[in-house]
């Protein structure tokens, strides 16, 4: 019996019923040339596939599971909430509490609205920016991914980059043409674009730590420079903190770097693995959203009580003293030891990291932009992914994604990871 026979059979069936056999493209493992494993259970830092194999997991559902899989407080909160009803289509106390927790934690949030995904969050924030400014254009950055709303599928990262899709059919040029995508970390290009379209740019949206071309931190001064350009040109600054919110600090990258955006988009961790997104920011902007203002956005299941319960339990657990110190220590140790092991084995590797999110680029580096990330050796990445999988370690199936360490990862797990990586690299020479 092949150790992955049931996964393969299920994936074959899935491919008849679901495009590419998956409900989100990156999960199809096309970039690593393997059949994706069908996961049936997670517990702590591990996941288990339908054939009974277990893996030390660094995907973490692409970021939400900062506490690890099936974290007891989250499971208990979800069960309790579900027993009271899964959705009412009415305001609930939990939504008020989650809004309070988010606004208390994230510096740029005076007000916030819950939605069901990061895509909804960024789509709504952009509509608000356009409505509030009366301007049509948007600046984003090459390799950054802000979900799959039309305006963002220009030089996007994540699955668009992994699949090498230049943009996406179905996005009218009239829409795509309003989006300017510039090199990440290139303030000069932003200043030139702002000068070229005076009075036309509604917003600049940025991942304050890029996670969708692999992890690429903002250079010192980049975020501050964006703030200054926006203030001078009447452009709204949107931080897409869907990954970084409650990941790199409790208050996200805006707390870590001390730069306050006008609008913030959140997701992933704030739902604890259930579908939650949020957008928020300055009160004078958010009050322009219906029904307090004319700019429309809505959602049947926005703020539903079960997802809100998962989010509240997750964010409560992250208030434990030492949480972010623990995540920083684990991230620093793993990045340092992987880099050392690669050097010992003569492997060209650049490890970019912020807190507990990191990427191993198979290039000598540095990697400060999409152009530099693309210099990575994708064949080496694929060999690494496959070797680590054989060693029982599950990584994001793309060079252009992040690995996530959770509170559930132990020092022994991290040691096992380094030993496995060194074993893979030893076979390369
Ligand atoms: P969702 O619509 O997938 O919840 O969020 C979109 C989004 C927005 N902004 C950022 C910075 C994001 O990283 C994402 C989604 N991230 C990808 C992986 N990097 C989700 C994985 C997938 O597409 O399946």
- pLDDT category at 154 given cuts 50, 70, 90 is confident
Phi/psi class of residue 20: alpha, beta or left (left: φ > 0; alpha: ψ in -120 to 50)? left
What integer pLDDT is reported at residue 166 of this predicted model? 60
259 contacts: CB under 8 Å, gap ≥ 6: 208, 223, 224, 226, 227
Which atom of ligand 1 is found nearest the CA of 147? 6
What integer pLDDT is reported at residue 168 of this predicted model? 82
Candidate list 51, 240, 262, 413, residue with the active-site label: 240
> 268 catalytic, yes or no?
yes
Phi, psi values for residue 39, rounded to 5°: -90, 135
For residue 396, how far is its CA from the centre of ligand 1 (angstroms)?
13
For residue 405, how far is its CA from the centre of ligand 1 (angstroms)?
17
- Kindly state if the Cβ of 140 falls inside 6 Å of ligand 1: no
Q: 307 pLDDT exceeds 90?
A: yes
- Kindly state if the Cβ of 368 falls inside 6 Å of ligand 1: no
CA atoms of 188 and 225, how far apart (whole Å): 9
For residue 345, how far is its CA from the centre of ligand 1 (angstroms)?
34
Q: 368 pLDDT exceeds 90?
A: yes
For residue 2, how far is its CA from the centre of ligand 1 (angstroms)?
33
Candidate list 58, 145, 257, 324, residue with the active-site label: 145
> 240 catalytic, yes or no?
yes
- Kindly state if the Cβ of 239 falls inside 6 Å of ligand 1: no
- pLDDT category at 429 given cuts 50, 70, 90 is confident
**Residues 278, 241 contacting (CB under 8 angstroms):** no
**Residues 215, 358 contacting (CB under 8 angstroms):** yes
Percent of the chain whose pLDDT exceeds 90: 95
Q: Domain spans of the chain? A: 1-30, 74-317, 325-349+408-429
174 contacts: CB under 8 Å, gap ≥ 6: none
**Atom 15 of ligand 1, nearest CA residue:** 147
CA atoms of 252 and 261, how far apart (whole Å): 12
End-to-end, the C-alpha distance of the chain in Å comes to: 32
What integer pLDDT is reported at residue 1 of this predicted model? 53
- Kindly state if the Cβ of 242 falls inside 6 Å of ligand 1: yes
CA atoms of 24 and 13, how far apart (whole Å): 16
What integer pLDDT is reported at residue 159 of this predicted model? 81
Which atom of ligand 1 is found nearest the CA of 244? 11
CA atoms of 205 and 235, how far apart (whole Å): 10
- Kindly state if the Cβ of 117 falls inside 6 Å of ligand 1: yes
- Kindly state if the Cβ of 158 falls inside 6 Å of ligand 1: yes
DSSP 253-304: HHHHHT---SEEEE-GGGGTTSS-EEEEE-HHHHTTBTTTSSB----TTTT-
Q: Give me the mean pLDDT over the 253-260 stretch.
A: 98
What integer pLDDT is reported at residue 165 of this predicted model? 65
Strand, coil or helix: 68: coil
Q: 163 pLDDT exceeds 80?
A: no
Ligand 1 pocket test, pick from 64, 146, 168, 253 with the greatest ligand atom count within 8 Å of Cβ, gives: 146
Q: Give me the mean pLDDT over the 159-175 stretch.
A: 81
Six token digits for residue 272? 């604890």
- Kindly state if the Cβ of 146 falls inside 6 Å of ligand 1: yes
Q: Give me the mean pLDDT over the 381-397 stretch.
A: 98
For residue 363, how far is its CA from the centre of ligand 1 (angstroms)?
25
For residue 147, how far is its CA from the centre of ligand 1 (angstroms)?
5
- Kindly state if the Cβ of 159 falls inside 6 Å of ligand 1: yes
- Kindly state if the Cβ of 207 falls inside 6 Å of ligand 1: yes
Six token digits for residue 234? 């009447």
CA-nearest of 281, 190, 178, 179 to 229 is 190
**Atom 21 of ligand 1, nearest CA residue:** 62
CA atoms of 417 and 372, how far apart (whole Å): 26
What integer pLDDT is reported at residue 2 of this predicted model? 64
Q: Give me the mean pLDDT over the 196-205 stretch.
A: 98
Q: What is the pLDDT of residues 264-286, one digit of tens each?
A: 999 999 999 999 999 999 999 99
- In CATH, what number does 74-317 get? 3.40.640.10
Q: Give me the mean pLDDT over the 97-119 stretch.
A: 98
**Residues 295, 130 contacting (CB under 8 angstroms):** no
What integer pLDDT is reported at residue 164 of this predicted model? 67
- Kindly state if the Cβ of 119 falls inside 6 Å of ligand 1: yes
For residue 282, how far is its CA from the centre of ligand 1 (angstroms)?
24
Which atom of ligand 1 is found nearest the CA of 26? 24
- Kindly state if the Cβ of 275 falls inside 6 Å of ligand 1: no
Ligand 1 pocket test, pick from 156, 209, 242, 357 with the greatest ligand atom count within 8 Å of Cβ, gives: 242
CA atoms of 23 and 321, how far apart (whole Å): 37
Q: 18 pLDDT exceeds 60?
A: yes
For residue 343, how far is its CA from the centre of ligand 1 (angstroms)?
32
CA-nearest of 192, 82, 202, 74 to 131 is 202
What integer pLDDT is reported at residue 226 of this predicted model? 98
Mean of the per-residue pLDDT values of the chain: 97
In Å, how far are 141, 198, 280 from 135, measured between CA atoms? Answer: 19, 10, 19
């Amino acid at each position: 019996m092949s150790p992955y026979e049931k996964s393969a059979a299920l994936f074959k069936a899935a491919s008849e019923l679901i495009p590419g056999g998956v409900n989100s493209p990156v999960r199809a493992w096309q970039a690593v040339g393997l059949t994706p494993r069908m996961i049936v259970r997670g517990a702590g830092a591990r996941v288990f596939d339908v054939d009974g194999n277990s893996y030390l997991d660094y995907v973490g559902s692409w970021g939400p599971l900062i506490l690890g899989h099936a974290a007891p407080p989250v499971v208990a909160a979800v069960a309790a909430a579900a027993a009271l009803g899964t959705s009412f289509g009415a305001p609930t106390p939990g939504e008020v509490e989650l809004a309070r927790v988010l606004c208390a934690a994230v510096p740029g949030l005076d007000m916030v609205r819950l939605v069901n995904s990061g895509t909804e969050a960024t789509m709504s924030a952009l509509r608000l920016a356009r409505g509030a400014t009366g301007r049509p254009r948007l600046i984003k950055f090459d390799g950054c991914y802000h979900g799959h709303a039309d305006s963002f599928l220009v030089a996007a990262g994540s699955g668009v980059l992994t699949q090498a899709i230049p943009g996406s059919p179905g996005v009218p040029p009239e829409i795509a043409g309003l989006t300017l995508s510039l090199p990440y970390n290139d303030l000069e290009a932003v200043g030139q674009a702002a000068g070229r379209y005076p009075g036309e740019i509604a917003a600049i949206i940025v991942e304050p730590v890029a996670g969708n071309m692999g992890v690429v931190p903002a250079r010192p001064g980049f975020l501050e420079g964006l703030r200054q350009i926006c203030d001078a040109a009447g452009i709204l600054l949107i931080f897409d903190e869907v990954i970084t919110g409650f990941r790199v600090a409790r208050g996200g990258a805006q707390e870590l770097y001390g730069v306050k955006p006008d609008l913030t988009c959140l997701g992933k961790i704030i739902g604890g693995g259930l579908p939650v997104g949020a957008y928020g920011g300055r009160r004078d902007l958010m009050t322009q959203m219906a029904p307090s203002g004319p700019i429309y956005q809505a959602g049947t299941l926005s703020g539903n009580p079960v997802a809100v319960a998962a989010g509240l339990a997750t964010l409560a657990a992250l208030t434990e003293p030492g949480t972010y110190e623990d995540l920083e220590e684990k991230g620093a140790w793993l990045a340092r030891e992987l880099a050392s092991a690669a050097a010992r084995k003569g492997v060209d590797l650049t490890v970019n990291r912020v807190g507990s999110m990191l990427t191993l680029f198979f290039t000598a580096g540095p990697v400060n932009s999409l152009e530099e990330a693309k210099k990575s050796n994708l064949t080496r990445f694929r060999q690494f992914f496959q070797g680590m999988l054989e060693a029982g370690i599950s990584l994001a199936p793309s060079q252009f994604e992040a690995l996530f360490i959770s509170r559930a990862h132990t020092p022994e797990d991290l040691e096992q990871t380094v030993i496995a990586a060194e074993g893979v690299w030893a076979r390369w020479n």
